[in-house]
Structure 1
Amino acid sequence: MKHYAGLDVSVKETAICIVDDRGTVCREVKVPSHPVDLARVLTDPAWNFERIGLEAGPLSQWLFEGLAKAGLPVICIETRHTKAFLKAQVNKTDRNDARGIAQMMRVNLFRPVHVKTLTSQKRRALLTARKLLQEKAIAIENDIRGLLRNFGLKVGMVGTVKFEHRIGELTEGIPDLAEILAPLLDARQMLRRNFAALHRKLLAIVRDDAVCRRLMSIPGVGPVVSLAYTATIDIPARFRNSKAVGPILGLTPVLHESGESHRVGRISLCGDGMMRTLLYEAAKTLLTNVKKWSWLKAWAMNVAKRRGQQKAVVALARRLAVIMHRIWSDGTQFRWTRKEIMPVAV
């Protein structure tokens, strides 16, 4: 007899439900959310597991890796699909959610999620920490601007390097105000210093990565975008074709069709928000700042003439994602023209 298990994970405890191939509940238990404790229950010789469902979440990568090493057929399933399935239950509890996930595994009604490799997880952590430090430093700078504006002091347009010097100029004759702002400037300086250290680490990784260097041959794509793309896609072969990358990143329109109604809405915005934002910024840079002409920019300009610049940037971001996947898969570089380079006959 085959068995199926559903795991409802929380920070402290995980609810486990084991059912057989007829849907009968065989065992229900709660254990600490740790791979060793979960494996101790699931590796019992009494169970012949066909599938074990684990909902995607903050602990899912760690738990998935531990259970997979224990030889268990664990599958990480998509959160939105699981939520829609479990919404049919009247009472939402950890026990009921574990039961629902177990039944999803039994009837094979789930959408699997790719669990990233350890290298991609570390790169993602680097990108997230770098972005967090940058956002906090910008927030402190904006707060300092707001505090000074109450006294009629305007910072104006000033770069990151000269920001502290500009604040010193404005508070030169107001020592008590300068004393108040000094801790904020120290905190900002520390954040900027740590941000620069992480950025140097990012550049060193990109410098030694052949895939990132090839992706940077695309106009508008820099080190941050290329590293974020490789960390997000992780394994390019998991996509059936390059065009499948667009929907995964939430860059394709939502279609609503019912009877005679047929509406094409905005982009779905599902998937990785950081990667989608970076692709949008890269597309905007290519469309507005890159001076060298290419077939890709010409295509985007034609879209802008027909549909407007905003939609052109979104369409270009989606096409950049497709091109980057193709370059990664083929081992090629970006071609500035559509003409194929033919070998010269000798």
Structure 2
Amino acid sequence: MQITTVGIDLAKAVFAVHGVDSRGKAVFRKSLKRTQVLTFFANLAPCLIGMEACGSAHHWARQLTALGHTVKLMAPQFVKPYVRTNKNDAADAEVICEAVSRPSMRFVPVKTPDNQAVLALHRARQGFVKARTAQANQIRGLLSEYGIVLPQGIAHIAGRLPSILEDGENALPMTFRQLLHRLGEHLKMLDRQVTELETDIQAWHRQNAASRRLAEIPGIGPITATALVASVGDATNFANGRQLAAWLGLVPRQHSSGGKPTLLGISKRGDTYLRTLLIHGARSVIRAAEGRENAAPRLKRLLERRHKNIAAVAWANRNARVVWALLAHGREYEADYQAACA
């Protein structure tokens, strides 16, 4: 009997697999060890395979695609509504098999190893930045217990800490001075790690033509550009720029009923990291445009009728649409493109 669709519940050691035929009738339900997965699907006729977009999903998608199968990844929150009974691995594989066959299902593009590598750099850098901020706040809090208050900003800690340690009149115990020295060295190490990872990201950015094109957009630099290129992948998977903005959670959340449309704040769906980078980039554009006569007319009109926070999100939404246009059509950024069209 011809197997048309297979659902896989990914795991560390034992994978649950559920296969159906063209009529939707279950053909097999299996549990496979990790070492048996590729052998099993190598002996299976090419079919549609569905998986949740979770840990190791992109790796298995590439492996199974190389065997001739069509692999589609789905966000777990889109699969959950198909659950009908108690949760277990076999039931999860069954609902994944059902969800992947729905014509209205939304799928996650499979990332290449190169894209995953640069995203790993971003995640590692993000972790070091959080650890650096936490370490700086700890040093600031410990010093405040002795009546020493530092100005805001990590740079003030690195600049003032040596003089605090050398000051013999601040009555700091020797044990505390040794601790401050240790924490200061740890802060320097974290800052060095962030700088080195940013250097690696810059090197990838210089070698990638799409990333260089995105960096020409005001509010998007090498960090944001590389993260967008690696995360979006093939932009043609989105029908238009609004779909990309919605995927990033930059469009209004809708709660309509009775034919009356009700739009709320942004949905905040998708990748929080990408959305944060785009909004921070928009804030920098707004800050640079304040008080300037030659600022973009569209941005000036936006700031006249909306608060700066709302304008920043709106500008980030606009940048997301521009990103889609550049990636989907392979174009270069033109600052006066709209004026030329007019």
Q: Which residue number corresponds to residue 201 of structure 2?
A: 202
> Structure 1 residues 339 and 27, CA, compared in 2 at 3 Å: closer, same or farther?
closer
Instruction: State the Cα distance separating 1:324 from its structure 2 match.
Output: 2.4
**Superimposed CA distance per residue, residues 52-107 of structure 1 (whole angstroms, 9 cap, x where no aligned partner):** 11111011011111111122222212221101222xx2311111111122233455
Q: Which residue number corresponds to residue 160 of structure 2?
A: 166
Classify the secondary structure of the residue corresponding to 2:108.
coil
Asked if the contact 1:168/1:178 (under 8 Å) is kept, the reply is no
Query: How far, CA to CA, are the matches of 1:108 and 1:92 in structure 2?
Result: 24
Q: Which residue number corresponds to residue 71 of structure 1?
A: 68
Query: How far, CA to CA, are the matches of 2:99 and 2:199 in structure 1?
Result: 45
Amino acid at match of 1:190: M
Asked if the contact 1:21/1:106 (under 8 Å) is kept, the reply is no
Q: Which residue number corresponds to residue 269 of structure 1?
A: 268
Which segment is superposed worse, 318-327 or 208-217?
208-217
Query: How far, CA to CA, are the matches of 2:15 and 2:250 in structure 1?
Result: 34
Q: Which residue number corresponds to residue 92 of structure 1?
A: 87
Amino acid at match of 2:272: G
Query: How far, CA to CA, are the matches of 1:12 and 1:251 in structure 2?
Result: 38
Q: Which residue number corresponds to residue 58 of structure 1?
A: 55
Query: How far, CA to CA, are the matches of 1:107 and 1:339 in structure 2?
Result: 43
Query: How far, CA to CA, are the matches of 1:137 and 1:83 in structure 2?
Result: 37
Query: How far, CA to CA, are the matches of 1:293 and 1:221 in structure 2?
Result: 22
Instruction: State the Cα distance separating 1:319 from its structure 2 match.
Output: 0.1
Q: Which residue number corresponds to residue 104 of structure 1?
A: 99
Query: How far, CA to CA, are the matches of 1:287 and 1:263 in structure 2?
Result: 28
Moved over 3 A (4+): 105-110, 290-295, 336-339
Query: How far, CA to CA, are the matches of 1:69 and 1:240 in structure 2?
Result: 27
Instruction: State the Cα distance separating 1:179 from its structure 2 match.
Output: 0.9
Q: Which residue number corresponds to residue 155 of structure 1?
A: 150
Q: Which residue number corresponds to residue 113 of structure 1?
A: 108
Q: Does 1:282 align with 2:277?
A: no
Asked if the contact 2:303/2:311 (under 8 Å) is kept, the reply is yes
Instruction: State the Cα distance separating 1:223 from its structure 2 match.
Output: 1.4
Instruction: State the Cα distance separating 1:169 from its structure 2 match.
Output: 2.4
Asked if the contact 2:201/2:223 (under 8 Å) is kept, the reply is yes
Equivalent residues in 2 for 1:224-239, closer than 5 Å: 224-239=223-238
From 127, 136, 141, give the equivalent of 2:136: 141
Backbone CA RMSD of aligned residues: 2.4
Structure 1: runs of 5 or more not aligned: 342-346
Equivalent residues in 2 for 1:6-25, closer than 5 Å: 6-25=7-26
Number of residue pairs matched by the alignment: 334
Q: Which residue number corresponds to residue 309 of structure 2?
A: 310
Q: What's the TM-score once normalised by structure 1's chain length?
A: 0.88
> Structure 1 residues 80 and 294, CA, compared in 2 at 3 Å: closer, same or farther?
farther
Instruction: State the Cα distance separating 1:201 from its structure 2 match.
Output: 1.5
Q: Does 1:250 align with 2:245?
A: no
Asked if the contact 1:5/1:49 (under 8 Å) is kept, the reply is no
Structure 2: runs of 5 or more not aligned: none
Query: How far, CA to CA, are the matches of 1:196 and 1:330 in structure 2?
Result: 31
**Superimposed CA distance per residue, residues 283-324 of structure 1 (whole angstroms, 9 cap, x where no aligned partner):** 1111112466667x4323322332322221111100011112
Classify the secondary structure of the residue corresponding to 1:211.
helix
Q: Which residue number corresponds to residue 39 of structure 2?
A: 40
Asked if the contact 1:327/1:334 (under 8 Å) is kept, the reply is no
Q: Which residue number corresponds to residue 344 of structure 1?
A: none
Instruction: State the Cα distance separating 1:261 from its structure 2 match.
Output: 4.0
Instruction: State the Cα distance separating 1:147 from its structure 2 match.
Output: 0.9
Q: Does 1:183 align with 2:182?
A: yes
Q: What's the TM-score once normalised by structure 2's chain length?
A: 0.89
Query: How far, CA to CA, are the matches of 1:81 and 1:213 in structure 2?
Result: 34
Query: How far, CA to CA, are the matches of 1:261 and 1:214 in structure 2?
Result: 41
Query: How far, CA to CA, are the matches of 2:16 and 2:222 in structure 1?
Result: 42
Query: How far, CA to CA, are the matches of 1:263 and 1:107 in structure 2?
Result: 28
Identity %: 26
Asked if the contact 1:54/1:60 (under 8 Å) is kept, the reply is yes
> Structure 1 residues 41 and 225, CA, compared in 2 at 3 Å: closer, same or farther?
same
> Structure 1 residues 298 and 13, CA, compared in 2 at 3 Å: closer, same or farther?
farther
Amino acid at match of 1:187: H
Asked if the contact 1:134/1:195 (under 8 Å) is kept, the reply is yes
Asked if the contact 1:219/1:290 (under 8 Å) is kept, the reply is no
Instruction: State the Cα distance separating 1:336 from its structure 2 match.
Output: 4.4
Asked if the contact 2:19/2:28 (under 8 Å) is kept, the reply is yes
Asked if the contact 1:7/1:53 (under 8 Å) is kept, the reply is yes
